[in-house]
Amino acid sequence: MAPYEVTYESIYSHESPPWYNDAKFGIFIHWGVYSVPGWGNIGPNETYAEWYWWDMNLGPDTPEETYQYNLCTYGQDHVYDDFIQNSTAAVFDPKDWINLFADAGAQYFVQVSKHHDGYAIFDLPANVTERMSAAQFPRRNLLQELFEAAERYQPQLHRATYFGLPEMYGFGEWPGGNATNPYTNETLPYTGMEVGDYVQDIILPEMLTLANMGTEIMWCDIGGPNLNAEFAAEYFNSNAQQGRQVAIDNRCGLPGDFDTPEYARYDAVQVRKWESNLGMDAFSYGYNRATPSSAYLTPQGIVTSLMDIVSKNGNFLLDIGATANGTIIAVEQDNLRTAGSWIQTHAEAIFNTTYWFIRPEEGDTVRFTQNTHAFYIITLYPPNATLVLDSPVPYVSGDQVTVVRGSMSGTVIPSMLLSNGSLQLTISEVVRDADQYSWVFKISYAAWELAEVLMARALADTVRTQQRRTVRLEVRLRRPQAVAASNTIRYLIRRS
């Protein structure tokens, strides 16, 4: 394939890589200067704690109440950059973090490398910026430590970075102008940085540094002025030369390789790859000390969210917020590991699967996934004794439906086609009580059917290759579509 060019059309022809499509579950980590105050209010007034600096500058007449909190807690002469000296990372153990991500069942992680306060947690040349953890406190290249731990202890984890394109203050441009003390209106210095051309002198070299560190996803945020077509062409081409597949999201000022609904998800299958991101906190990505433990996403919430999103061609990027000293709080660790035990034992219905594009779900409680070997029926709640599926599924009389994992794994459950073509499953209390969070049942495909789907996929791949050789299309045949299409052929064969 020809190298990518610095044009919209060329960059838009790039696709999300197969490893990303198959990975399904990632961990998002917000950790920076904003973790020192670590506050974002509570209940209906809760706001993103990582936007603390912005919110405290909104003044006293806003529901966030960050202005008042900062004044009462630290006083009028304490400004945001004073928090930098308390960014200690004193107990940060990158090995522990990486092992937690693996225990959670995640296949990749996205670490915030720089949020919109401009403080980077990786090392940069002094002529770019000294507003970073290597030059300021804690005087460590925290991102490099995390990447190295991943490569050493959990090399199967894909490594990625969030990068905030615009910065809140420090410049006479978007969004906030020069930084000021909101209580005294004093203009403030911007620690560690003197800027000429922000886009050319700061954004581009920072992003290129992350690319050279080996980030496999450039997860930008907000967009704004940028040189990201230039960056993307270099990023895609240099990694292709090394045999690596990388991606960018849709917030880099370009369409990107996948969409990113925030604290939200789609109600139906999206043919274009997407990734739902939200925090374990009810409404914050950064650590919020005001949030009670009971408000964090539970293991059941993690599992059922994952299964719903995966069934619709999505990935699930679940965020945790670390404290200033590098602690991931107990409720996040416990809930991640508990959910991870279920995710890892039910992996066959999650990873390396695609959606059933005839119908990905039935009502609020049933979801479907598939791969080349099997079709999976997933209930998001304890199933009733009789489960009737009116959705078209690849089942014919004589097929066996088996339990996936739990203490009754492999058990065949009674199944039959009703006169109207619906599939009826009879689920005993013993089977229902043998699992938790979500229940998975499998229809396995016979060897001849596997041959059919492999032939269909080979044909689809041939067609896609020919399309790429002739013209780059805005709507392209993607691998998940090829699998789904070939399995639809199988469904029609089975029902004929």
- In contact, 369 and 353? CB cutoff 8 Å: yes
Continuous segment of H or E residues that includes residue 114:
strand 108-114
Task: Report how far residue 143's alpha carbon sits from residue 148's, in angstroms, rounded to the nearest whole number.
Answer: 9
**DSSP H stretches of helix in 85-180:** 94-103, 142-153
356 Cβ neighbours under 8 A, 6+ residues apart: 311, 368, 369, 370, 375, 393, 484, 487
Instruction: Residue 319: count other Cβ atoms within 10 Å of its Cβ.
Output: 24
Does residue 468 carry a pLDDT above 60? no
Summarize pLDDT for 398-410 with one digit per residue, the tens: 999 999 999 999 9
Summarize pLDDT for 131-150 with one digit per residue, the tens: 999 999 999 999 999 999 99
pLDDT recorded at residue 458: 64
Summarize pLDDT for 178-236 with one digit per residue, the tens: 788 999 999 888 887 777 788 999 999 999 999 999 999 999 999 888 899 999 999 99
Does residue 155 carry a pLDDT above 70? yes
pLDDT recorded at residue 195: 73
Q: What percent of the chain has pLDDT over 90?
A: 81
Task: Report how far residue 304's alpha carbon sits from residue 159's, in angstroms, rounded to the nearest whole number.
Answer: 25
pLDDT recorded at residue 493: 53
Comparing 398 with 257, which gets the higher pLDDT? 257
Angle value at C-alpha 159, between 102 and 238, nearest 5 degrees? 150
Task: Report how far residue 273's alpha carbon sits from residue 312's, in angstroms, rounded to the nearest whole number.
Answer: 9
pLDDT recorded at residue 325: 98
User: Structure tokens of 469?
Assistant: 């050789």
All domains of the chain in start order, with CATH: 8-345 (3.20.20.80), 352-496 (2.60.40.1180)
| DSSP for 275-294, written as a single string | EEEEESSSS-SS--TTS-GG
Q: How much helix, strand and coil, in percent to the nearest 5, is found in the chain?
A: 35, 15, 50
